Amino acid sequence: MKKIILNLENAISEKEIQKYQEKVSKINESMNNFTSEGSDFLGWKDLPENSNWKEIEQMKKSAKILHDKNIETLVVIGIGGSYLGAKAAIDFVHGQYPGKERKMEIVFAGTSISSTSLAQLLNYVKNKKFAINVISKSGTTTEPAIAFRFFKNLLEEKVGAKEANELIFATTDAKRGTLFEFATTKKYQKFVISDDIGGRFSVLSPVGLFPLICAGINVDDLLEGAKEANKIYKDNSLETNDAYKYAVTRFVLGKKYSTEMLVSYEPNFSFFNEWWKQLYGESEGKEGKGLLPTSAVFSTDLHSLGQFIQEGSKILFETVMTVKNPKYDLTITEDVENLDKLNYLANKTVHYVNDAAFKATTDAHVKEGKVPNIHLLLDDFSEKTLGWLIMFFERACAISAYLLEINPFNQPGVEVYKKNMFKILGKN
Ligand code: PA5
């Protein structure tokens, strides 16, 4: 059964979508034959079917050792694709205020070069029993490298160099890079990022899986969901493949609008939004092309951005995610005094009110605001649904970028600031 229902009735017509069938079939074929541009980086697309289960078992064993040692916190050190997927998945499944289900606290470091933030996080973990998972495909990224030096020193001071080596896990390239060499020298447990998987497509690889296993997320279900989704989302047909329909829709809307806003009605999806922004921004924003991916959480942001969306410049369309079955629901009780005048909602659930906000807002934005609206109805907050969602957006992202005649898998523009920074810092 499908875990995501796509509704395009407020976006474009089915007829318009079908015009792209031939183009999409060609692109899909070239991806299947590995002849598309950047095809060296297509490893993500069959990852749920080709998962390295031996390595996953090893990750589970390592996580168990950490749990048995009563490690409270895992410091995940990485930036961009090396942390956003794990953060997005943990918040999606467990929420922002996790309960007993969170087996280990996961905190993220090396996501900026802020001294304040780094010092505060070091201070936060210093009296906890913590372990480290340093993640970098290239193994040379400055932000995580700086953070790792500090956290490694702190851990060694706390537990001694020998025990620290047992508590440090490196996720990196199989054969090369500074982090690979570092981890080999120190004999850290290593997990491998395959050559054919880029950072922003790596959430279902050890990059995402090890922190998720430590947190207590069911990665078997996550991969199973992604696998189920892949059966549908790898298909050529624009009649049945919703991921490719979404790709075509945003391509068509992109001719008129410069911005796509990913919206959800669940604060637990905030970091999913961030993951999505990197996926689309870095994959498509090249050669003067691509939609600006931005995001919001409603109804929160209806009280900040709502005015702009309703009546401001007509630069955007919305892609809205709502959830059919909330993880928890609450019924609003009747109050004898009714001082807050809320008795009209008595016996209704909070999720019902959230759904009313969604329906009302869609109507307002589409009909009066003239903002096109793509809707994704997700089944629930489960790992399986998340697996579907990840595959949906990854598959769509590749097609979308190829429709723009762009290689989705490189990011040459990111190097420009780095070069300047290294010049200022005197790095050879
Ligand atoms: O998608 C990408 O490739 C990038 O955003 C990387 O994830 C990010 O720059 C981190 O790179 P690395 O894992 O090499 O440290």
In tens, the pLDDT along 158-211 reads: 999 999 999 999 999 999 999 999 999 999 999 999 999 999 999 999 999 999
HEC string of the chain? CCCEEEEEEECCCHHHHHCCHHHHHHHHHHHHCCCCCCHHHCHHHHCCCCCCHHHHHHHHHHHHHHHHCCCCEEEEECCHHHCHHHHHHHHHHHCCCCCCCCCCEEEEECCCCCHHHHHHHHHHHCCCCEEEEEECCCCCCHHHHHHHHHHHHHHHHHHCHHHHHHCEEEEEECCCCHHHHHHHHHCCEEEEECCCCCHHHCCCCHHHHHHHHHHCCCHHHHHHHHHHHHHHHCCCCCCCCHHHHHHHHHHHHCCCCCEEEEEECCHHHHHHHHHHHHHHHHHHCCCCCCCEEEEEECCHHHHCCHHHHHHCCCCEEEEEEEECCCCCCCECCCCCCCCCCCHHHCCCEHHHHHHHHHHHHHHHHHHHCCCCEEEEEECCCCHHHHHHHHHHHHHHHHHHHHHCCCCCCCCCCHHHHHHHHHHHHCCC
What is the best residue among 40, 133, 411 to mutate for testing ligand 1's pocket, by most ligand atoms within 8 Å of CB? 411
d(CA 202, CA 194): 9
Q: What is the 178 CA–ligand 1 centroid distance (Å)?
A: 14
Q: Give residue 340's pLDDT band: very low, low, confident or very high (50, 70, 90).
A: very high
Q: From atom 4 of ligand 1, which residue's Cα is the shortest distance away?
A: 199
Q: Which of 274, 282, 284, 318 is catalytic?
A: 282
Residue 354: partners with Cβ closer than 8 Å, 6 or more residues away: 265, 299
Nearest to 386 by CA among 232, 244, 219, 171: 219
Ligand 1 pocket check for 79: Cβ under 6 Å = yes
Kindly state if the Cβ of 80 falls inside 6 Å of ligand 1: yes
pLDDT higher than 90, residue 229 = yes
Whether 227 is in the pocket of ligand 1, judged by its Cβ within 6 Å, is no
CA angle 48, 197, 270 (to 5 degrees): 75
**Nearest CA owner, ligand 1 atom 9:** 80
Work out the mean pLDDT of the chain and round it to a whole number.
Answer: 97
Name the residue with the closest Cα to ligand 1, atom 5. Answer: 80
Q: Is the pLDDT of residue 334 over 90?
A: yes
Q: How far apart are CA 267 and CA 350, in angstroms?
A: 14
Residue pair 151/131 in contact by the 8 Å Cβ criterion: no
Whether 318 is in the pocket of ligand 1, judged by its Cβ within 6 Å, is: no
34-79 pLDDT, tens digit each: 999 999 999 999 999 999 999 999 999 999 999 999 999 999 999 9
Judge whether 14 and 386 are in contact, CB under 8 Å: no
410 CB within 6 A, ligand 1: no
Contact 198 CB / ligand 1 (< 6 Å): yes
Pocket probe for ligand 1: among 40, 76, 82, the residue whose CB has the most ligand atoms within 8 Å is 82
Of the residues 200, 202, 284, which should be mutated to test ligand 1's pocket, given the most ligand atoms within 8 Å of the CB? 200
Catalytic option among 128, 359, 418, 427: 418
**Domains (range + CATH), the chain:** 4-37+234-403 (3.40.50.10490), 53-221 (3.40.50.10490)
* Whether the CB of 110 sits within 6 Å of ligand 1: no
- Locate tokens 């509704």: which residue? 7
Centre of ligand 1 to C-alpha 198, Å, is 7
pLDDT score, position 1: 87
Q: 152: buried, middle or exposed (CB in 10 Å: 19+, 13-18, 0-12)?
A: buried
| 239 part of the active site | no
pLDDT of residue 143: 97
CA of 356 to the centre of ligand 1 (A): 39
Average pLDDT over residues 292-309: 98
Q: Is the CB of 254 under 6 A from ligand 1?
A: no
Q: Among the atoms of ligand 1, which is closest to the Cα of residue 141? A: 15
Say which residues have a Cβ less than 8 Å from residue 301's Cβ, sequence separation at least 6. 263
- Answer whether 282 contacts ligand 1 (Cβ < 6 A): yes
Decide if pLDDT at 99 tops 90: no
Atom of ligand 1 nearest to the CA of 200: 1
Q: CA–CA separation, 53 vs 183, rounded Å? A: 22
Nearest CA to ligand 1 atom 12: 136
**81 in contact with ligand 1, CB cutoff 6 A:** yes
Ligand 1 mean position to 199 CA, how many Å?
5
* pLDDT score, position 428: 76
- What number is the average pLDDT over the span 347-368? 98
Is 22 a residue of the active site? Answer: no
Predicted local confidence at residue 97, as pLDDT: 87
CB-ligand 1 contact for 382 (6 Å cutoff)? no
Q: Cβ distance 118 to 295 under 8 Å?
A: no
| pLDDT class of 101 with cuts at 50, 70, 90 | confident
Tell whether ligand 1 has an atom less than 6 A from the beta carbon of residue 202: no
d(CA 390, CA 264): 15
